[in-house]
């Protein structure tokens, strides 16, 4: 299955060093660790819990929507539930998922560093995240905001539900995001091993680096905006309240100025994972390294210019709508560069087909279709019909679940041997991957049609004509949930009973695979000097080894 | 072809002058996006099979590792894609301008959204709730605002949608191309009964429209009467009950800072079991807490003060609208059977300015 000849017990690691999992025992050694790998694992546990929680909320919502009228919960609970689902999935799962777990774990190893630039800041970001999660969840469950994750005023400033505690929780989560972003940027700039020039940085690092720039620039805007909503709600400042001279549409501009780039905070790391997976399993350097690396930047920068497409029907002028529409389509061009380059990389590769690669295959369809429907909704006249309907719900779930979640799962399988030194069951991985795809399609394809037919989102009850589409969608949601739980179980079982994996089971040339099966605490006992690129598959294995030496 | 695609994509009937043209772009965009996604997946899938790793592979690099990528083809595809997007954008921009620019001869109707109903006002002075009567084959311009939070006026059959925003006016227009009743939905989340905030556009034949203008609903055609009755039912579902509106009003005006609803003693008399109870007065004598006494106590609380309670309640004369007073009384009626509890005032603080409801002191 995964038993290939070992490429690297690479020359740079000390053979007898204790791996990071055994480097210290006891709760203290985990809770006070500054090891980026352990912090990554702790994020892993928390973030997966949040995924399960957000998924459970989604199932309640879908169950409620089985019938046009009330089914299992009341309208007031339903409104809190979809708010919870959105808040948990966006801020507690999607945004921290790939950067904080896999970014934390592999980014330093990928650039030959012993840790992140600010290890304590990294640990702090974990605790800030945990505090933010507790505050947000406690607030949403205790009082419960019923505004949706978008917090549009004046509803959010006048609702009787408790909005301020929730936004304080999200504010705290934003602080954690910023801490992580600063750390990744500083690390990428200053901690690269000798020989890893900008042209040799693995593509996943480029993706995380671009993501960090967006986080750093956009998150403060969200933090302050959402805090203003909270203060408006309690103290009636009137910034967004028209009865006090404020402007509710101003909020929408500020909110989407963050939240549209936030889509790329969620998607760019996924694109980075896919780049790694494609190159490794095709055993081929990317068709164009710079096209992939720089298109991440393109997305990060142009991503800031498209926010207005969320507001075409909010009274925007035709000129503004035209400009925002054009910028939005530009982003799709940058995404297309990546997609074409991945496919071109497969061409004449030597492709090993396994679970991460199957996830890549699903990703290809879901991301392209989700992205292209993004261009469709950026087309101004079509958006008028689609805006705030299930079409948009289906579109962003295609991008965020179809894109980010499949890439997350690809990463979970791809780096599993490196993180835990064991191999998961490949047949089970492939099977659950099929289940995820089928469940996903069954859940969200009917939602495109429901949106076309005119079903608005955030509807507790709906006209009976939409029912059978909703029944299909609910069935799909249960299938998707089941497949995800099985995929998780497959990995959990492998954690304990999986066969031992070699240091480099996929025969990758990327630098993180140079470490022992489970990396030691400081990754490399001596900082390596690397005289080759991360995708130099044109070298023989001996040559690839020979170009890594130890520095003195 | 139009009909086939429309049904395949589940689009509603095209009942406005612009709907068909917009759907044309819709078909084009969806076919291209669907086709593009399928194509790239097929190509990817073909490569996955065609270039799968052979068992005889050795640690030596496979020949493909030296192959030159087809970057020229990639660049050409990118420009083709960009050109396609530009086409979407060009058509979309023109259509968007059409959607936003009402013809000069349009009939104006004023629309007010509020939680959770639509109100339509005609220049002639009439107004309708939930049902918008319009003449078919004539452009109608909607001039819209909201009384509370943001709503969105959405008629799927017309392919129009426009946010309705408090503090400003937004417009939308349409020309119904066939008489009929078309659902109005609220598309912007606006609170508990958001999904019940529905209505009907009833497009009438111009002759019928004139008849309706003169004679009202009774002289409208049967389909219109049926749709209006349906809208009436939906409105009833969306409207909160009087007691629940009373509770909202009581919360809004700060009543619940001093009065409780469950019989617990507090600054003022609990409202539980208060309605129609006999109330002993500070000045001696007693009154029955009926509508008259309750209204008087709201407007001039000290005139007939409940014995045993501090004289701290401010007058709400001119502060609270009559419908809210009615709703509060209905709330009191609804908790008439809740045990009243002992008539002892709250002793948790010094009576005085500190317990005066903030912000409502006249």
pLDDT at A527: 85
Residue A16: pLDDT over 80 = no
The CA distance from A457 to A400, in Å, is 17
CB–CB contact B74 A284 (8 Å): no
Question: Taking 90 as the threshold, does the pLDDT of residue B221 lie above it?
Answer: no
Contact A540 B51 (CB under 8 A): no
Task: List the single residue in A349, A369, A381 with the smallest CB-CB distance to B51.
Answer: A349
Over residues B104-134, the pLDDT tens digits come to 999 999 999 988 889 999 888 788 888 999 9
**Nearest Cβ partner for A350 among B57, B71, B74:** B57
Residue of A351, A382, A390 for testing the chain B interface, max B β-carbons within 10 Å: A382
The answer, yes or no, to whether residue B341 has pLDDT greater than 70, is no
**Beta bridge partner(s), residue B14:** none
Residue whose C-alpha is closest to residue B269's, from B316, B332, B320, B349: B332
The answer on pLDDT for A184 being more than 70 is yes
Shortest Cα–Cα distance, A54 to chain B (Å):
20
Q: What is the dihedral of CA A441, A447, A450, A451, to 10 degrees?
A: -130
pLDDT band at B357, cuts 50/70/90?
very low
- Token pair, residue A528, equals 């390596």
Contacts of B53 in chain A (CB under 8 A): 283, 350-352
Q: B25 vs A382: CB contact, 8 Å cut-off?
A: yes
Q: How many angstroms separate the CA atoms of B119 and B113, rounded? A: 6
Is residue A433 classed exposed, middle or buried when 0-12, 13-18 and 19+ CB atoms within 10 A define those classes?
buried
CB pairs under 8 A between A and B: 282
E strand or H helix that includes residue B87: helix B71-100
Crossing angle of helices A75-87 and A36-64, rounded to 10°: 150
B8 touches A: beta carbon within 8 Å: no
* pLDDT, tens digit, 9 for 90 and up, residues A299-325: 999 999 999 999 999 989 999 999 999
- Given a cut of 70, whether residue B239 has pLDDT beyond it is no
- Quick check: B39 pLDDT over 60? yes
Nearest C-alpha of chain B: how many angstroms from A318?
A: 6
The Cα–Cα gap between A395 and A457 comes to: 12
Q: Does residue B349 have a pLDDT over 60?
A: no
Does the beta-carbon distance from A459 to B194 stay under 8 Å? yes
Chain A interface, mutation test: which of B6, B19, B97, B167, most A Cβ atoms within 10 Å?
B167
Summary mean pLDDT of chain A: 91
- Return residues 242-271 of B near A (CB < 8 Å): 248, 251
Residue B68 touches partner A, C-beta closer than 8 Å: no
B27 contacts B7 by C-beta, under 8 angstroms:
no
C-alpha span between B4 and A178 (Å, rounded): 51
Query: Residue B54 and residue A350: Cβ atoms within 8 Å?
Result: yes
Span A232-267, pLDDT tens digits: 888 888 899 888 888 999 999 999 999 999 999 999
Tell me the average pLDDT across A366-370.
92
* Per-residue pLDDT, B182: 95
Looking at the complex, report in whole angstroms how far the Cα of residue A29 sits from the nearest Cα belonging to chain B.
Answer: 40
The token pair at A48 is 């997966």
Nearest-angstrom CA–CA distance, A370 and A399:
5
Q: Does A450 sit within 8 Å of B189, measured CB to CB? A: no
Adjacent-strand bridge partners of A530 = A548
Predicted local distance difference test score (pLDDT) of residue B362: 33
Q: Which of B89, B227, B238 to mutate to test the interface with A (most CBs of A within 10 A)?
A: B89
Picking from A67, A243, A320, A454 by the largest number of B CB atoms within 10 A of its own CB, the best residue to mutate is A454
The whole-number pLDDT of residue B343 equals 62
The nearest alpha carbon in chain A to B185 belongs to A456
Spatial contact of B328 and B243, defined as CB atoms under 8 Å apart: no
Q: For A476-514, how does the pLDDT look when each residue is reduced to its tens digit (9 = 90+)?
A: 999 999 999 999 999 999 999 999 999 999 999 999 999
pLDDT, tens only, A46-72: 999 999 999 999 999 999 999 998 999
What's residue B116's pLDDT? 85
Q: Contacts of residue B196 in chain A, CB cutoff 8 Å? A: 461
Task: Tell me the mean pLDDT in the region B269-284.
Answer: 88
Least confident residue range of B7-11, B130-134, B221-225, B262-266: B262-266
The percent of residues in chain A predicted with pLDDT above 90, rounded, is 75
The token pair at A155 is 């509803």
Confidence grade of residue B342 (pLDDT, cut at 50, 70, 90) = low
Strand duo B127-129 + B151-155: pairing: unpaired
ipTM, two decimals: 0.90
- Which one is predicted more confidently, B54 or B183? B183
Cα A262 from Cα A132, distance rounded (Å): 18
Query: Are the beta carbons of A344 and B100 separated by less than 8 Å?
Result: no
Q: What is the pLDDT of residue B242?
A: 78
Chain B: give the shortest CA distance to residue A314, in Å: 5
A376 vs B33, B47, B53: nearest CB: B33
Q: Average the pLDDT over each of A21-25, A79-83, A95-99, A362-366 and give the range with the smallest value.
A: A21-25
Q: Is the pLDDT of residue A209 over 90?
A: yes
Interface touch A315/B89, C-beta < 8 Å: no
For residue A67, list chain B residues with Cβ-Cβ distance below 8 A.
Answer: none
Residue B49 burial (10 A CB sphere; 0-12, 13-18, 19+): exposed
Q: Measured between CB atoms, which of B73, B78, B170 is closest to A337?
A: B78
Segment among A288-302, A377-391, B234-248 with least mean pLDDT:
B234-248
For chain B, positions 73-102, list CB contacts with chain A under 8 A.
73-74, 77-78, 81-82, 85-86, 88-89, 91-100
d(C-alpha A10, C-alpha A515), whole Å = 7
pLDDT at A12 > cutoff 60: no
Output the pLDDT for position A249: 93
Q: Which pLDDT score is estimated for A13?
A: 45
Q: Do B190 and B197 touch, CB atoms closer than 8 A?
A: yes
Give the pLDDT band (50/70/90) at residue A6.
very low
In this prediction, residue B309 carries a pLDDT of 86
* Statement: residue B327 has pLDDT above 80: yes
Rounded CA-CA distance A468/A451 in Å is 13
Region A37-50 average pLDDT: 96
Q: What is the pLDDT of residue B273?
A: 86
pLDDT at residue B358, rounded to an integer: 39
Does pLDDT of A419 surpass 80? yes
Kindly state the average pLDDT of the residues B186-192: 93
Q: What is the pLDDT of residue A7?
A: 42
For the segment A21-47, the average pLDDT, to the nearest whole number, is 92
> Rounded to whole angstroms, how far apart are CA atoms A241 and A491?
50
pLDDT digits (tens, 9 = 90+) for B297-325: 898 888 888 888 888 888 888 778 888 88
Percent of chain A with pLDDT over 70: 97
The residues that bridge with B155 in the sheet, in sequence order, are B160
Residue B246: what pLDDT? 82
Mean pLDDT of A132-158: 87
């Amino acid at each position: 299955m995964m038993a290939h000849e070992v490429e690297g017990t690479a020359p740079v690691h000390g053979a007898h060093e204790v791996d990071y999992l055994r480097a210290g025992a006891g709760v203290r050694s985990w809770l006070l660790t500054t090891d980026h790998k352990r912090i990554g694992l702790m994020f892993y546990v928390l973030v997966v819990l949040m995924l399960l929680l957000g998924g459970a909320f989604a199932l309640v919502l879908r169950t409620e929507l089985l019938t046009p009228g009330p089914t299992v919960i009341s309208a007031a609970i339903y409104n809190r539930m979809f708010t919870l689902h959105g808040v948990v999935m966006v801020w507690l799962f999607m945004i921290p998922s790939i950067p904080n777990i896999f970014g934390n774990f592999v980014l330093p190893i990928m650039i030959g560093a012993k840790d992140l630039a600010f290890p304590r800041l990294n640990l702090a970001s974990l605790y800030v995240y945990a505090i933010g999660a507790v505050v947000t969840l406690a607030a949403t469950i205790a009082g419960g905001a019923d505004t949706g994750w978008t917090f549009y005023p004046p509803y959010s400033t006048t609702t009787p539900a408790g909005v301020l505690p929730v936004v304080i929780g999200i504010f705290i989560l934003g602080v954690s995001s910023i801490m992580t972003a600063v750390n990744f940027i500083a690390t990428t700039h200053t901690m690269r091993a000798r020989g890893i020039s900008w042209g040799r940085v693995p593509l996943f690092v480029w993706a995380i680096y671009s993501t960090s720039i967006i986080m750093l620039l956009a998150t403060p805007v969200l933090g302050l905006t959402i805090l203003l909503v909270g203060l408006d709600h309690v103290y009636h400042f009137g910034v967004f309240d028209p009865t006090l001279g404020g402007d509710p549409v101003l909020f929408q501009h500020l909110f989407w100025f963050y939240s549209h780039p936030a889509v790329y905070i969620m998607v760019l790391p996924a694109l980075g994972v896919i780049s790694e997976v494609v190159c490794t399993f095709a055993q081929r350097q990317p068709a164009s390294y710079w096209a992939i690396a720089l298109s991440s930047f393109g997305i990060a920068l142009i991503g800031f210019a498209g926010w207005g497409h969320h507001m075409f029907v909010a009274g925007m002028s035709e000129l503004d709508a035209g400009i925002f529409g054009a910028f939005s389509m530009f982003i799709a061009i940058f995404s297309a560069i990546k997609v074409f380059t991945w496919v071109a990389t497969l061409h004449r590769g030597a492709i090993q087909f396994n679970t991460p690669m199957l996830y890549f295959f699903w990703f290809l369809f879901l991301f392209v279709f989700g992205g292209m429907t993004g261009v469709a909704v950026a087309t101004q006249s079509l958006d008028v019909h689609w805006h705030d309907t299930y079409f948009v719900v289906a579109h962003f779930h295609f991008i965020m679940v179809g894109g980010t979640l499949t890439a997350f799962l690809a990463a979970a399988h791809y780096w599993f041997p490196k993180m835990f030194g064991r191999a998961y069951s490949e047949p089970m991985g492939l099977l659950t991957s099929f289940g995820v795809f089928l469940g996903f399609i069954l859940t969200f394809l009917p939602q495109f049609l429901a949106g076309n037919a005119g079903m608005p989102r955030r509807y507790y009850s709906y006209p009976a004509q939409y029912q059978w589409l909703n029944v299909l969608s609910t069935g799909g949601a249960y299938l998707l949930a089941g497949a995800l739980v099985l995929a998780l179980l497959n990995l959990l079982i492998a954690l304990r009973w999986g066969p031992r994996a070699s240091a480099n089971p996929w025969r990758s040339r990327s630098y993180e695979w140079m470490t022992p099966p489970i990396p030691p605490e400081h990754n490399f006992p001596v900082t390596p000097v690397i005289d080759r690129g991360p995708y130099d598959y044109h070298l023989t294995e001996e040559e690839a080894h020979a170009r890594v030496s130890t520095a003195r | 072809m139009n009909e086939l695609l429309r049904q395949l994509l589940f689009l509603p009937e095209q009942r406005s002058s612009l709907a068909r043209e917009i759907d044309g772009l819709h078909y084009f965009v969806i076919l291209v996006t669907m086709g593009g996604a399928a194509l790239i997946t097929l190509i990817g899938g073909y490569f996955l099979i065609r270039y799968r790793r052979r068992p005889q592979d050795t640690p030596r690099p496979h020949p493909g590792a030296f192959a030159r990528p087809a970057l020229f083809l990639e660049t050409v595809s990118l420009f083709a894609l960009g050109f396609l997007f530009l086409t979407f954008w060009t058509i979309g921009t023109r259509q968007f301008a059409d959607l936003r620019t009402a013809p000069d001869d349009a009939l104006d109707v004023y629309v007010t959204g509020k939680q959770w109903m639509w109100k339509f006002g005609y220049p002639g002075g009439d107004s309708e709730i939930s049902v918008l009567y319009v003449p078919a084959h004539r452009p109608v311009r909607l001039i819209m605002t909201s009384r509370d939070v943001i709503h969105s006026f959405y008629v799927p059959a017309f392919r129009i949608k426009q946010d309705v925003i408090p503090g400003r006016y937004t417009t939308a227009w349409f020309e119904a191309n066939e008489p009929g009743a078309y659902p109005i939905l609220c598309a912007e989340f606006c609170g508990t009964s958001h999904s019940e905030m529905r209505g009907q556009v009833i497009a009438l034949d111009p002759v019928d429209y004139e008849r309706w203008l003169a004679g009202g609903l009774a002289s409208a055609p049967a389909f219109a009467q049926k749709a209006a009755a349906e809208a009436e039912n939906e409105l009833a579902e969306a409207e909160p009950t009087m007691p629940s509106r009373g509770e909202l009003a009581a919360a809004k005006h700060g009543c619940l800072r001093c009065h409780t609803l469950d019989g617990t003693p507090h600054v003022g008399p609990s409202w539980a079991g208060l309605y129609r109870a006999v109330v002993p007065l500070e000045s001696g004598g007693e009154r029955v807490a009926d509508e008259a006494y309750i209204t008087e106590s709201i407007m001039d609380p000290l005139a007939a003060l409940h014995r045993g309670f501090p004289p701290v309640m401010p007058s709400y004369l001119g502060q609270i609208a009559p419908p809210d007073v009615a709703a509060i009384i209905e709330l009191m009626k609804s908790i008439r059977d809740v045990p009243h509890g002992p008539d002892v005032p709250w002793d948790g603080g010094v009576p005085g300015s500190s317990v005066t409801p903030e912000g409502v002191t006249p």
